[in-house]
């Protein structure tokens, strides 16, 4: 857990909030004494469902209608004879994405 004085938090609020957003907890101190803790919120299923509905209404996503059928798993897989998919994967891995 990272510690930040109130003055540091005031000066760099965006940076600390980005850390919290990525999952870190921040302990806030005032003159060396802990006074608060900033923790990331846990998304509830309701919040995720509401966000999905909003994205669907705006046309950003289209939700599926059910599970994957057995025929999907039996279908022939496409061939990548030039190795484009593997090359793209290796490029991403090299770039650190």
Q: Quick check: helix, strand or coil at residue 82?
A: coil
Mean pLDDT of the 12-16 span: 94
Does position 81 have pLDDT exceeding 90, yes or no? no
Mean pLDDT of the 1-10 span: 93
DSSP state at residue 53: H
34 sits in which H/E element: strand 33-38
For residue 55 the two structure tokens come to 């994205």
Which pTM does this prediction carry? Answer: 0.46
Summarize pLDDT for 60-76 with one digit per residue, the tens: 998 887 788 888 889 99
- Fold for the domain defined by 1-76: YefM-like fold (3.40.1620)
Q: What is the pLDDT of residue 97?
A: 60
Q: Quick check: helix, strand or coil at residue 62?
A: coil
Q: What is the pLDDT of residue 8?
A: 94
Domain positions in the chain are: 1-76
DSSP state at residue 24: -
Q: Quick check: helix, strand or coil at residue 50?
A: helix
């Amino acid at each position: 857990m990272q510690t930040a004085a109130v003055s540091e938090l005031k000066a760099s609020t965006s940076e600390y909030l980005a850390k919290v957003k990525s999952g870190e907890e921040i302990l806030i101190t005032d003159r060396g004494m802990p006074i608060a803790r900033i923790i990331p919120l846990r998304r509830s299923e309701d919040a995720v469902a509401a966000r999905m509905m909003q994205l669907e209404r705006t046309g950003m996503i289209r939700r599926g209608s059910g599970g994957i059928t057995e025929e999907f798993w039996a279908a022939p897989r496409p061939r990548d004879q030039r190795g484009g998919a593997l090359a793209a994967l290796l490029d991403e891995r090299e770039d650190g994405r």
